[in-house]
Amino acid sequence: MPAYAVKHIVEDHGLLARIMKDVRKTPYSYTSCEPEATQASLGNDIYVIEVRAEPKSARSYWLGYKYRAYEKYPPAGGGLWRGRFKFKNAAKPMARAQGAYFDSPVEIVDVHANAWLREKTPTMAEMPDHLVDALEAMIGNPEHGAKLFA
């Protein structure tokens, strides 16, 4: 089953912590990428990764949450979500979401995962298996305190 990464750029959208109250109710993410947005909405996992600009160094990547997407919405009236995105992917409304989140995003320290994320533009992309495995290991590590969506 394919899985997708969506970058959440802090300089453009603020910290993930700011939207987590809404994400915990029904997880979602934004993108303008097709066919990825459609493919993800067919019951595939989306990993939302916070991207931070670090002073005097490369960007850092932080896993915020993972959810299984079943919906893809264009904005009402043909505009753009948040002024720049064509689509919003989301879990099933009014149903318990499949996936997990962190109260505070956890830094991705895997060298190969960071290299892959650096190569990708700030968008949605299908992830290779090694990156999915690295992120799943983070979610499964009790030290990180991942929580299941309620």
- Phi, psi (5° rounding) for residue 145? 70, 40
Average pLDDT of 71-82? 84
Q: Please report, as a single letter, which amino acid is at residue 93.
A: P
Average pLDDT of 110-135? 91
Question: Is 128 a residue whose pLDDT tops 90?
Answer: yes
pLDDT-derived band at 121 (thresholds 50, 70, 90) equals confident
Question: How many domains are there within the chain?
Answer: 1
Average pLDDT of 21-42? 93
> What CATH number does residue 102 fall under?
3.10.590
pLDDT-derived band at 75 (thresholds 50, 70, 90) equals confident
Residues 6+ apart with CB under 8 A from 33: 87, 123, 124, 125
pLDDT-derived band at 91 (thresholds 50, 70, 90) equals very high
CB 117 within 8 A of CB 46: no
Average pLDDT of 4-29? 92
Average pLDDT taken over every residue of the chain = 92
How far is it, in rounded angstroms, from Cα 96 to Cα 99? 9
Q: What is the pLDDT of residue 82?
A: 74
What is the domain extent for residue 48?
Answer: 3-148
Question: Is 134 a residue whose pLDDT tops 90?
Answer: yes
Average pLDDT of 67-93? 88
